[in-house]
Amino acid sequence: MTKKVINTDVVKKGDNKILLMKLLRENGKTKLYLKTAPEIESVFRTEQTNESRVYKDEDNFHSYYNQLSNEDSLVSLVDNIRLNNYGTQLVDGYRKNLSLLRTVGISNGILFEIQGLIGEEMLEEWSKTLKEFILKLYKSYVRPVEITLILEKKEVC
């Protein structure tokens, strides 16, 4: 059994792990393990889900959250990404497909078998884009922020 780890990344903000990613090749198959913080999964959560016929682990197809209502604001965080093509190639021309983030249960960790041929260099580029997106998503939509509002009443004479 030949196993080659292509990329392993842990993205942390303070003590919070917001992404764990492991890309590997094993017996000619490309596998990807992703685990996000629950707050990241909640950004993509919708009431309705579908089952993918492409993204799967060794035995089962994965369910995914339906179309995002906030997709335009999310894809503007990083150039050349897609979030709406669940079940298609990781790289589509020059755009990176990050729709795997819409997988139900990704905050518990999900293993994907990547279909089709994809080069190691392209996988590394895709993983860098995912990491950049997760960091910007966390900073823009997830990170706790404290806002203090002070209202004063002044009498005008």
Q: What digits encode the pLDDT tens for the residues 13-70?
A: 667 788 888 888 877 788 889 999 999 999 999 889 888 877 777 677 888 898 777 7
Tally DSSP H helices, then E strands, for the chain: 3, 9
pTM for the full predicted model: 0.81
Whether residue 154 lies inside any domain: the answer is no
- Report if residue 95 sits inside a domain: yes
Residue 5, class by beta-carbon neighbours within 10 Å (0-12 exposed, 13-18 middle, 19+ buried)? exposed
Read off the pLDDT of residues 107-146 as tens digits, 9 standing for 90 and up.
999 998 887 777 888 888 888 999 999 989 988 888 766 6
Assigned domain for 157 exists: no
User: Six-digit token pair at 19?
Assistant: 């992404």
1 pLDDT more than 60: no
Asked whether residue 8 is domain-assigned, the answer is yes
In a domain? residue 147: no
Q: Tell me the CA distances in angstroms from 100 to 1, 15, 153, 154, one per residue in order.
A: 27, 24, 50, 53
Whether 152 shows a pLDDT value over 60: the answer reads yes
- Position 18 in a domain: yes
The residue range of the domain holding 58 is 3-142
Name the pairing type of β-strands 81-82 and 95-97. parallel
Count other C-beta atoms under 10 Å from residue 79's C-beta: 11
Residue 151 within any structural domain of the chain: no
User: Which whole number is the average pLDDT over 65-92?
Assistant: 85
97: its two tokens: 């497909």
In a domain, 33, yes or no: yes
Q: How many domains does the chain have?
A: 1
